[in-house]
Structure 1
Amino acid sequence: MSRAFLLALQFLTRVPVPAGAPPTPAELGRSALHYPLVGLLLGAVLAVLARLLAGADAGLAAALTLAIWVLATGALHLDGLADTADAWVGGAGSRERTLAIMRDPRCGPVGVVVLLLALLLKWAALHALFATTATPWLLLAPMLGRAALLALLAGTPYVRPGGLGAAHAAHLPRRAAVAVLVACACACPLLAGVHGLVVLAAAAAALAWWRRALRARLGGTTGDTLGAACEGVEALVLVAAALPAG
């Protein structure tokens, strides 16, 4: 098992991974290539859990699955989503004010509301999917959410020097990142057929819109806005998958 994969697993989940020697910047950059794989493994755990809960009430099964999902990731990306929401509204179009608010560890009312809406959307989508077949989407949603992290790191400037993702972005092998993203795109029709392609197109369009908004407001991305992208793509994938199921 490669050290780059273990670093990605350690960063993105609460799985206990031996710390070892401090990672070099190059190792951090390579670890980002494994983000979608970590998402796929998380999805596999969620899919197994969904199978075990097959006889339970769909609402309860959806709530338990979502709770494990949040606990397994330590709410890392939800924290980024809340900080981004607070800063985006409170920043009032100002780059400096937006970045300053993101540094504030407190969660304001906008962040709380956005968190609740994101979790509600995920729960409702899972509830609908558990009535049909949730397995492909439990695999794809975490994978594509973390592919969004990789895509932004590879194609958007990181604007906070010394930030959590600065070394990842600076030392990310771009060509290898493109290959990983192509593999993620190919996995969508393999796991979910034509519907997988439709959901992939929706996720790609949403991510392109978010990247454009980030470039316009901040000039690039930050750790918090990466987390917001992951949560947004995950929710979008689940909702887009659940609409036909509903």
Structure 2
Amino acid sequence: MSSFLIALQFLTCLPIRLRDMPSADAIGRSLSFYPLVGLLLGVGLWLLALVLEQTAPALSAALVLSVWVAFTGALHLDGLADSADAWLGGFGDRQRTLDIMKDPRSGPTAVVVLILLLLLKFVALWVLLGEGERVALLLAPLLGRAALPALFLYTPYVRPGGLGQVLSTHLPRREARWVLLAVAIGCVLLGTAGWLALAVALLVGMLARRAMCRRLGGTTGDTAGAMLELVECAVLVGLALRV
């Protein structure tokens, strides 16, 4: 239960307070609960979309996306912004890229990337909700957060110290593999939309991981957050193109 609460505390803005300082093992195990947190977020968004069913699709999409961002505290959007600045400003140099990621300021590249990503999410939601395709609201948060244990499972963590290092070191690998298998089976059972979403998430995740390994030799917390956002966006856009 403590590992689930750690995952919920880290991935959402819910006012969760842990009575005791969690152990490193509990923090590492929390990664296995990330897909569950994503699924719970998806259920909440699905219910909100259901309540807004009679609302104009554009307004409904804007409200759903706003709640989505607010509920997650824009945590991974920040990682995407830092990664975008670092990737362009790093000029292919590993250390320069890592240094830029640590800079809290956002440059024009970060702003443009965030605007484009949120625009794509908004328009995709507009199309999907207009057609009554609410299953995307379950699949995108689920697969976005499932991408994180998959990333830490198969990719070195390159910035020593901090939460990311603890997650990478203490992730229960066998348990994480079973969780990812359960996610994949769940997507398959949802039919064509689930198959498509899973395929898109795998493709984008592998491409993002390849880019990280080529530039950095592994992942950081910021690039992990960037991957989550890219997977979510790609799943929404892929399902919207299918409509």
Same fold (TM over 0.5): yes
Aligned residue for 1:30? 29
TM-score, length basis structure 2: 0.98
Measure, in 2, the Cα distance between the counterparts of 1:130 and 1:10: 29
- Deviation track 1:199-238 (CA, whole Å, cap 9, x = no partner) reads 2112101111111111111010000000000000000000
Give the structure 1 partner of residue 127 of structure 2: 128
Per the alignment, residue 199 of structure 1 pairs with 197
Give the aligned partner of residue 214 of structure 2. Answer: 216
Aligned to 2:239: 241
Q: Deviations over 1:111-169 (max 9, x none)?
A: 00000001000000000001112321101100100001111111100111113311011
| Corresponding position of 1:167 | 166
Percent sequence identity is 56
In structure 1, distance between residues paired with 2:125 and 2:188: 20
Moved more, 182-191 or 64-73: 182-191
Alpha-carbon distance in structure 2 between the residues aligned to 1:114 and 1:47: 26
| Secondary structure at 1:164 match in 2 | helix
- Aligned AA (1:71): A
- How many residue pairs match? The answer is 243
Deviation larger for 35-44 or 209-218: 209-218
- Relative to the length of structure 1, the TM-score reads 0.97
CA shift for structure 1 position 14 = 0.4
Give, in whole Å, the separation in 2 of the partners of 1:195 and 1:70: 23
SS at match of 2:15: coil
Query: What's the secondary structure of 2:135's corresponding residue?
Result: helix
Report the alpha carbon displacement of residue 106 of structure 1 after superposing the two structures with TM.
0.4
Q: Give, as a single letter, the amino acid of the residue that structure 1 aligns with 2:238.
A: A
SS of the aligned residue for 1:135 comes to: coil
Q: Secondary structure at the match of 2:163?
A: coil
How far is 1:186 from its partner? 1.1
Q: Confirm or deny: 8 A CA contact 1:163 1:223 kept in the other structure.
A: no
1:10 CA drift (Å): 0.2
Q: Which runs of 4+ in 1 moved over 6 A?
A: none
Q: Which residue is equivalent to 2:117? A: 118
Amino acid at match of 2:28: G
Correspondence 1:231 to 2:241: no
User: Tell me, which stretches of 5 or more residues in structure 2 are unaligned?
Assistant: none
Question: How far apart in 1 are the matches of 2:219 and 2:242?
Answer: 33
SS of the counterpart of 2:162?
A: coil
**Structure 1 spans left out of the alignment, 5+ residues:** none
Deviations 1:34-92 (A, max 9, x none): 00000000000000000000001100000000000000000000000000000000001
Say if 2:139 and 2:197, in contact at 8 Å, map to a contact too: no
Write the distance in 1 (CA, Å) between the matches of 2:204 and 2:68.
Answer: 22
User: Counterpart in 2 of 1:75?
Assistant: 74
Mapped partners of 2:233, 2:62: distance in 1: 14
* Equivalent residue, structure 2, for 1:63: 62
Letter in 2 for 1:228: A
Looking at structure 1, the residues matched to 133 and 41 of structure 2 have their Cα atoms a distance apart, in angstroms, of 14
Q: In the alignment, which residue of structure 2 is the partner of 1:154?
A: 153
- SS of 1:83's partner is helix
1:126–1:134: 8 Å Cα contact kept in structure 2? no
Could you tell me whether the CA contact under 8 Å between 1:36 and 1:143 is conserved in 2? yes
Are residues 1:188 and 2:178 paired? no
